[in-house]
Chain A
Amino acid sequence: MGLFDMRKGAVLPVIVAAAAFSFLPAYSEDIEPETVEFFETSIRPLLAETCYECHGSKKQENELRLDSLAAINQGGLSGSPVNRDNLAASLMIEHVEYRSEIKMPPDMRLDDHEIDAIRRWVLMGTPWPGEEAPSEPGEAPVDIAETIRQARDTHWAFQPVTKPEIPSASPIDALILEALNTNGLKPAARADKRTLIRRLSYDLTGLPPTHEEVQAYKNDISPDAFEDLVDRLLASPHYGERWARHWLDVARYADTKGYVFQEDALYPYSYTYRDYVVRSFNEDLPFNQFIIEQIAADRLELGEDKRPLAALGFLTLGRRFLNVLNDITDDRIDVVTRGMMGLTVSCARCHDHKFDPIPSADYYSLFGVFRSSRVPSEYPLIEEPDVDDPEYQEFIRILGERKDKLEAYEVKIHRELLLETQQKTLQYFKGAYDGITMDDEVSFKKLAKERELRPQILTPWRTYLSEKIANPDALFTPLAWFHALPENSFTLMSHRVTTRILEAGTETPINRRIQNAFKNEPPASMDEVVQIYVNVFNEIDSAWKAQLATAAQIAVQQPEAELSLPDSLADPAAESIRQAIFASGSPSNIAAGDVFRISDTPEQGQVRTYRRAIARHEGSHEGRPDRAMGFVDADALYEPYIYLRGKQSNRGDTVPRQFLQVLSDGPPKPFENGSGRLELAQAIASDNNPLTARVFVNRVWMRLMGSPLVGTPSDFGLRSDGPTHPELLDYLAATFMEDGWSVKKLTKRILMSSTYQQSSMGNADFEDLDIENKFLWRQNRKRLNFEAMRDSLLFASGKLDPTIGGKPQSLSGKNPTMRRTIYGTVIRQNMAGFIKTFDFASPDLHSPRRAETVVPQQALYLMNSPFSLKQARALSESLECVEGSDTSVKIDQLYQRILQRKPDSIEKQNITRFLTETPFDKGPPQPDPSEWQYGYGYYNIETEQVESFTAFTKYKKKRWQTHDEYPSKELGHITINSSGGHPGLDVQHAAIHRWVAPRDGTIEIKGRLRHSNENGDGVLGYVVSSRSGLLGDYAAFNGFDDTAIENVAVSKGDTIDFVVSPDTNNGYDSYSWIPKVLMDQPEGTEGESVRLSWDSRADFAGPLPAAPDPLTPWEQVAQVLLMTNEFMYVD
């Protein structure tokens, strides 16, 4: 068993699975001997030879197998190859006869006699000796209910947890010892006290003990010393941090959504879930409650403290899979079933689980539960904000500003649209009518574009009209009648329709105003019909407006009179039209909320931008109050059905929302409470669930002992390894539940065993017998994981900030956080390389255990990263000894700080020799200062020389500038950034991007000066050499000019200036210019490393950081100790 959860695509499990699913058909007596012979001589060999390569046991092209009757009946993606209702129409015959597009076998047509044989056999009804003809066509070959029942009765993991009776004070040790004895092994002696306290500290808190703590423990001779230590460490707030991180691997925790297209990638309150997990471990929240809260906290009576709502982050913090709901739901099913129960339910997404008793129906039962739930539109608050906190006040202020901006924009656009719909009723009516006949959205959008109609108005209009044509009322019956006329006989029949309209009586009431409008010539086309309608609408609109105007006039003239606005038109026929077309709720009166619903409009894009800015603010401002990444039941519950082969469009049977069949006693009871999440959670966290406690105690055992009892911690299915110590697993699970699912009690029970406290040292004899230490004849040596390693570096340097909880902070970049690594931002998409290098759990998928690899990139991090070098420096600087104190004392101190012990004489010797024998260097050679300089000055067009150059002194927001404020009062917008800049107010203040030749040579210059603004008058550019003056002059105004110059000789120290000055007007002068300098390989440098090209954008930099002081010899020693195996491994 290896450290990875992987095994060869083995033969054995397949056999096991086949046995579990075995379907033993009774031999059919009905098949006649001649038929048997025909089958065995002409059909079976033919099928085997020509079909099984792709449709047999190894491969199932198109998901089709042809090696058993059952498989043939089950069929593949195209259904069964044999049509039992009409055998002659069977696909199999078509395909072998090469009559259809699909030709089988694809390489070569069968011989005619072979085709005949197949046809004959199919027409006989595919008799298959050894298998019974199915009673019903298409019946599944496997009786899933039977499989489930069998697995439930036999598979170890599905048996109830039973507490073994072990007559021993330490049942754990008794069970381990028993297996050791059977295998000729003996347990190792107890580890020494320094090893024990170091082991315990790391296992429980992820941090080393201090040297003082080691000493105190060594000196504590009381019999309870170890237990006291266990209790103290279990009570440490750092315990929760260490164990939360283990659970976050299970929960595939991250602070971002993964790849997103347009939205903001940050989860705004992910950290509240992380903090919830830390707190739960620290407070020893019963594990069953921990599970229930993570699935259904929103369905619990929580009382005042709403913090448990954050637990729902377990479900909601997965990848967003481009917001494809089916994939998001699949991820939730996976994290719940594997993480909590060790069942790979996701395998049943496309078909019944191949190995485990999980039918697709079960998958979709759970699918229904999660699809009936959703992320709420507003995340619930879980803390009362501190209104006096200035950060909170700032948060609220900026939030208000951004929301106001959005609202103002929405109101403005809404007004615009309202105005437009009233002004262009005719065009919209017409456009909507023409749009009805278009079946694709593309042509409809094109129509909108060509007629300059806004989709936000046109689309609702079209919906309205098609609805009216389908269900005509008094107003639209004539339109519907005309619409029904065939185009080519329109004129012919128009007359009859018109007559019908005019003669319509009470049985088909027609609006009188419309009726009247058709009194003239019958319309000759639909366009005319539409025109008639619009004329009527216009009349009514005018009448209404006139009435409003009169009322307004009265209001002005008689201010004292009570204001009476009209509420209807006098003529009921006119009024009903007004209501239908112009009143609120009509298509001309677009509701504010609908304005931005139509996709692909610039307005929608703009609103999205505003909303993103709000989301970013809400999700990133330090003053934001904590909220839960919650989950709630959807308003309308989703009634699940099976997606055949995982495709939503292949609708299979409807299934109830309910628990897994194999874990239910009898048929599962459909969930009744909303989405069913709470019932699901309770079923998972139940004492009667045989998996949940077993899976979790196995995880705890794995962390404490270095290897699990069940080798596949997230797969307890039929193909999993059984437990190495089944009774022990049950004992731990049973006592865990007896103790009210207390994780701390479980942990302590394991820690108090002699098994845990054994030495980890090897033993050649036992290694021959059990090299993997499967029987635990010693403790396993453990390597620090990434978090423990990084935390220990900070701990040793004295820089560790032990604050618990809070918003995530960066682990990389110039100022990585000094807090524990668990508080580092986990960026799903772009995790810093070194984090991956150290085997950090992938946040994309539930992670049962981490890989443990050793690669040189890990060493590079410790050798060269500024982070590790700074820790070595800080450590050395913080040593308490005074200047000039004895070398030996100083070495002692380093050892105590880093390894919690004193060095022995050999170690001391080695280090002393290191410190004294050879002289130390003055650090690495420093890179030459950059060849690029940034400043401003005067280019004299008369002398063709740059006559002044002043370097910029301020660098802010990735640009060089003259003053702290930008633009500056004195010198305006003058600046240079990575891709261009802005000149000053006059030619005396041209922006100058300067390149200094690092050596002699011949150069070539490339680039493009671009000015992108139709205002102002553009900019002027010059390339000027200090040696030979002007090399090229350029101008760009709302366009560009290529700045290519070849063959310029330079000597070391010469400057090439890229000067940009304003033309006569100094407004709108932003430009882009990314000059590149290429140099030929200088003479005599062949094979030697020299720089040959300079790209002003790639090289662009702020002030060069001062070269760090080289590490002192003592700092170097400190770094060496931080790199040792002794630091990195825990015995």
Chain B
Amino acid sequence: MDHHQFDNDDFALTRRDFLQRTGLGFGTMGLAGLLGGDASAASGVSPMAPRAPHFPGKAKRVIHIFFNGGLSHLDSFDPKPILDKYHGKSLPTENLRTERPTGGAFRSPFEFKQYGESGMPISELFEKTAAHADDLCVIRSMHADVPNHEPSLLLMNTGEARLIRPSFGSWVTYGLGTENQSLPGFISMCPDGYPIQESQNWQSGFLPGVHQGTYINTRNTEVEKLIENIKNQYTSRKDQRKQLDLLEQLNLKYQKARANDAQMDARIHSFELAYRMQMEATDAFDISKESKETRERYGTAVQSKQLLIARRLLERGVRFIQCWHGHGQPWDAHDDLEDNHRKLAGQCDSGIAALLQDLKDRDMLKDTLVLLVGEFGRTPTVELPQAGANSGKINGRDHNHYGFTAVLAGGGVKGGHIHGATDEFGFQAVEDRVHVHDLHATMLHLLGFNHEEFTYRYAGRDFRLTDVHGNVVHEILA
């Protein structure tokens, strides 16, 4: 029995043949093919190769600017002048139960103005972002399940408050791959360390590990510290090129007898990608290549700096980006809300405005979905002092999952649009309520997915980002 003895000539590959076969042009493989099960390594298609979703989506990429700790909707995008009237007095309705006791009404210390043709009211905190009011789609009727950070962060990021589930970004790269193979497809940036719940926020859960978000500490000022193993300290680029050429010779020879092993082909190709990644990734994170004018437009705070990095990454085809404001829970203003929010908004308002402007200038806003939201909002009532919980200054707001605001822009959402409403005091979403699951369903829809059919079989179940919930909010689609 020697039918398996290959005649080497039949399988001889020239280098050019080879690169054509395994080059970047894997082609866009349909999601159906991927979900059909024979994906990735077995077929030689990189798990990150670009793929088409269920139907053509308007959004091609996502950036989520995360107000971790919980931005107050009442001080940003959901004005409630009636709080001035009740300031310091009890609300006529009972306070909803949040994490900690709250007392009387607490008016917003910030001034609201109307912006754009839509006349959208936005507070002075985001006056620069407000210049783009007619591009913003403000959902004022968001709601989540509980008033605590940990479960709410997980809900916002993975659609499940407690158990291990893949994060939104990993679902998206799983479904769509990414457009630039020389950069990670899902990047989570946060200066100085992690938000709470740490890497769970960008976990891949039961999806293959490659879909986990790549964490980048943007506090590092040296580009090369940003990505693991991006730089070789022992060998020059030139020598490394020679090494890879030798590697390819040896691999191709070995491959002759093993043609049609797609995974080995893919692995040969991955070294070329890695070689390019060293340059491209370094370049993408290097904002010193931007003009001074641009850098000043974004601002000097780390949060603004990472928004500029994000823009460079989006331009290069990174699929999903998260920009966390800072480690821990910076927006969590139980005390000194005014100082806290003024300072933090000062660190990101110019960056958000510049990002939106740049995306528009590059005609990218139409297919880039921008999301601004934290894990929940804050109470219209003042938080009461409590040992160990705050410093008892009585000038902050508690967590509020009953009602909060998410702001979307680009990627197929209506601009200058306000959807839904909270009650007259801003405590609870009452009109056209949008649960976090609905937000996810809608964003998946914008990316071209039917969220009910976008599933992954694991442990005997077909899991979804939206579990058994979620309705697409058609009213906000452009």
Contact = CB atoms under 8 A, between A and B. Distances in A.
A53 to B, nearest CB: 10
B253 A715 contact: no
A483 interface: no
A869 B234 contact: yes
Interface stretch (A303-311, A744-752, A1117-1125): A1117-1125
Nearest to A189: B1
B220 A1098 contact: yes
B164 interface: yes
A761 B254 CA distance: 12
A833 interface: yes
A57 B236 CA distance: 62
B23 to A, nearest CB: 14
A1108 B234 contact: yes
Nearest to B33: A8
Given A715-B460, A907-B253, A924-B232, A853 B208 contact: yes
A1081 B289 CA distance: 10
B228 interface: yes
B387 A914 contact: no
B361 interface: no
A910 B220 contact: no
A851 B210 CA distance: 9
B452 A1128 contact: no
What 10 A-B pairs have minimum CB-CB distances, sorted nearest first? A344-B460, A851-B208, A859-B274, A921-B236, A856-B273, A856-B274, A9-B455, A2-B37, A836-B209, A864-B232
A9 B462 contact: yes
Given A3-B41, A860-B228, A907-B250, A1125 B387 contact: no
Contacts of A186: 1, 3
17 contacts: A7-B35, A600-B387, A762-B258, A837-B209, A854-B270, A857-B210, A857-B274, A860-B228, A1081-B288, A1095-B221, A1110-B235, A1110-B236, A1111-B234, A1116-B235, A1124-B250, A1124-B251, A1125-B267
A900 to B, nearest CB: 14
Interface string A823-863: 00000011111101111101011100001111111111101
Contacts of B251: 1124-1126
Nearest to A599: B388
Given A5-B457, A9-B462, A1124-B254, A761 B199 contact: no
A922 B246 CA distance: 19
A761 B6 CA distance: 9
Given A842-B164, A860-B278, A861-B228, 6 more contacts: A188-B1, A720-B460, A765-B3, A833-B228, A834-B228, A924-B231
Nearest to A867: B229
Contacts of B452: 58-59
Interface stretch (A317-325, A419-427, A675-683, A879-887): A317-325
A334 interface: yes
A1093 B221 contact: yes
A7 B232 contact: no
A920 interface: yes
Contact of A319 (B43, B164, B254, B286): B164
B242 A914 contact: yes
Contacts of A852: 40-42, 263
Interface in A423-463: 440, 442, 445-446, 449
A1091 B182 contact: no
A1110 to B, nearest CB: 6
A1081 to B, nearest CB: 5
Nearest to A1105: B233
Given A189-B1, A189-B2, A1090 B288 contact: yes
Contact of B291 (A261, A449, A836, A1086): A1086
B360 to A, nearest CB: 23
Given A778-B4, A924-B236, A1078-B300, A3 B42 contact: yes
Contacts of B152: none
Identify the interface centre among A347, A833, A906, A1080: most chain B CB within 10 Å of its CB: A833
B221 A762 contact: no
B206 A845 contact: yes
Contacts of B233: 864, 866, 869, 924, 1107-1108
A106 to B, nearest CB: 10
A624 interface: no
Contacts of A834: 228-229
Contacts of B199: 829-831
Nearest to B240: A863
Interface string B179-206: 0011010000000001001111001111
A73 interface: no
A2 B261 CA distance: 14
Interface of A: 1-9, 58-60, 186, 188-189, 258-259, 261, 319, 321-322, 324, 327, 330, 334, 338, 344, 346-347, 355-356, 440, 442, 445-446, 449, 600-602, 605, 712, 714-715, 717, 719-720, 759, 761-765, 767, 772, 778, 781, 783, 829-834, 836-840, 842, 844-846, 851-861, 863-866, 869, 906-907, 910-911, 914, 918, 920-925, 1078, 1080-1081, 1086-1095, 1098-1099, 1107-1111, 1116-1117, 1119-1121, 1123-1126, 1128-1129
Given A844-B164, A853-B208, A859 B235 contact: no
Interface in B84-117: 100-101
Interface string B269-291: 01101110110000100101101
B260 A762 contact: yes
Interface in B217-264: 219-223, 228-240, 242-243, 246-247, 249-251, 253-255, 257-261, 263-264
Given A189-B4, A1110-B234, A842 B246 contact: no
Interface string B421-461: 00000000000000000000000000000001101111111
A842 B460 contact: no
B162 interface: yes
Contacts of B274: 856-857, 859-860, 863
A321 B250 CA distance: 48
B459 A321 contact: no
A248 to B, nearest CB: 16
Given A842-B205, A923-B236, A761 B291 contact: no
Nearest to B185: A855
Contacts of B203: 844
A1117 B42 contact: no
Nearest to A261: B150
B271 A863 contact: yes
B232 A334 contact: no
Interface string B60-83: 000000000000000000000000
A906 B41 contact: no
